[in-house]
């Protein structure tokens, strides 16, 4: 089994936990207290080396200077989840979409909105894969594994919500 590399990055949202595979592809980004977030395991390797680009890009994003992350990502989910997560990548900075719109983008029926929500809630790459940009059909700030206050903070940073 290949080792998992990890590091922490201090941000305005708290101390993030980043993991990567041996090739340096980012495999998860968790915020403190995240529902379903990762925690460091004994067999993981603490090594900030593979995360230099992620740290730089996160700092630029939080400073309002970066709109698109360009990092190698590697996630492992069902085919359905991977399709949903891929659709998240197409939601631009400063914009929002709905669960129904994500379902439509991946060719899923409208009835699949709950399943889409479940897949979005299981997104292992918060912030980088922008699940915070998905809102309710009525414009409401619906669930976010990192906490609604962080979702609001991120959408305010991106100019979607007033400061």
Residue linked to tokens 């903070």:
153
pLDDT in the model for residue 110? 84
CA distances from 138 to 131, 145, 147 (A): 17, 20, 19
Give residue-wise pLDDT tens across range 136-157: 999 999 889 999 999 999 999 9
Residue 48 has pLDDT above 90, yes or no: yes
Q: Is the pLDDT of residue 107 over 90?
A: yes
Give per-residue pLDDT as tens, 83-95: 999 999 999 999 9
In whole angstroms, what is the distance from residue 90 CA to residue 107 CA?
Answer: 15
Contact 15, 129 (CB under 8 A): no
124-134 confidence digits (pLDDT tens): 999 999 999 99
- By annotation, the residues acting in catalysis are 131
Distance, in Å, from the CA atom of 158 to the CA atom of 153, rounded to the nearest integer, reads 9
């Amino acid at each position: 089994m290949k080792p998992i590399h990890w590091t922490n990055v201090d941000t305005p949202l708290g101390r993030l936990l980043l993991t990567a595979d041996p090739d340096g592809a980012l495999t998860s980004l968790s915020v403190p207290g995240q529902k379903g977030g990762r925690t460091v395991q004994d067999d993981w390797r603490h090594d900030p080396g593979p995360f230099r680009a992620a740290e730089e890009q996160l700092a630029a994003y939080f400073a309002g200077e970066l709109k698109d992350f360009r990092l190698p990502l590697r996630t492992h989910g069902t085919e359905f989840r991977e399709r949903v997560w891929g659709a998240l990548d197409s939601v631009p900075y400063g914009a929002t979409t709905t669960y129904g719109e994500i379902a439509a983008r991946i060719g899923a029926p409208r009835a699949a909105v709950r399943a889409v929500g479940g897949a979005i809630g299981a997104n292992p790459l918060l912030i980088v894969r922008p699940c915070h940009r998905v809102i309710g059909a009525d414009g409401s700030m619906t669930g976010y594994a990192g906490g609604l206050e962080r979702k609001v903070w991120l959408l305010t940073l991106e100019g979607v919500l007033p400061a």
